[in-house]
Amino acid sequence: MPNIISDKTYFLEYSQQIGHKIPDLISRFDFSGQAVSFDYLTQSSAVYSSNIEGNSVDLNSFMNYRLSQEKFKAGKEIAEIEDLIEAYRLAQESPLNETNLLKCHTILSKTLLIKSKRGKYRVEPVGVFGKEGLVYLAVEPEFLKQEMTTFFAEIQQLLQETLSAEEVFYFAALVHLRFVHLHPFRDGNGRTARLLEKWFIAEKLGKQFWEIPSEKYYKDKQRHYYEAIHLGANFYTLNYDKCMNFLVMLPNCLGY
């Protein structure tokens, strides 16, 4: 489907289901920073996003590691989280564009991929597998560059438009969903998609929106998160008419 990100095909239904509640949810959300620091929330985001991908280090263990004097004992899972924190920090200080996204992936994939594949679009077919076998087959690598060019062109179009908060959350979730379906990297796609979603919101509404607990919400609702992402067996059978279950998840994190 062309222009899936910038298209408003599902916006009316979205607005009726949850979008109309977004201004109130934002007004009730605590952006004061009095409870915890911005840096702590960034670390928390990275931990929960990593947990979704199977990292077993919980937030309490990671924060205690940070307080520890024995950081040299950290293993691969701690390194994964540290790398993702670094990627979030780069995004928080950088404009959202393709070049900077690739830089973020280079950082967050240090422990996931060999150096030559970090920050580079994949050149091999890739599928998503579950216990029952192949769940989803992404677009072929020879078509990926053009798909990513279209993807970022749509993002840049939206970044230049004046959008309501309701529209921002709607498009941010579509950005997340489409990125996962494109699956442009050999590994690190989920982490990058969740970072990208929040990056888009912060770019449009302000840096304080990096504080929203979307990663924690997705982790706590992980089964539903994966079910809602699954819109087809392969890139060519994706049915975005079924995307609403995914789109409504993001605003719910504001009242979580």
pLDDT score of 132: 83
CATH no., domain 11-255: 1.10.3290.10
Task: Give residue-wise pLDDT tens across range 102-138.
Answer: 999 999 999 999 999 999 999 999 999 988 899 999 9
CB atoms under 10 Å from CB of 77, counted, come to 17
pLDDT score of 130: 85
Kind of pairing, strands 133-137 and 127-130? antiparallel
Domain ranges of the chain: 11-255
pLDDT score of 3: 74
Task: Give residue-wise pLDDT tens across range 7-36.
Answer: 899 999 999 999 999 999 999 999 876 667
The overall average pLDDT reported for the chain is 94
Among candidates 16, 11, 36, which has minimal Cα distance to 216? 36
Task: Give residue-wise pLDDT tens across range 134-187.
Answer: 999 999 999 999 999 999 999 999 999 999 999 999 999 999 999 999 999 999
Which residue type is seen at 236? Y
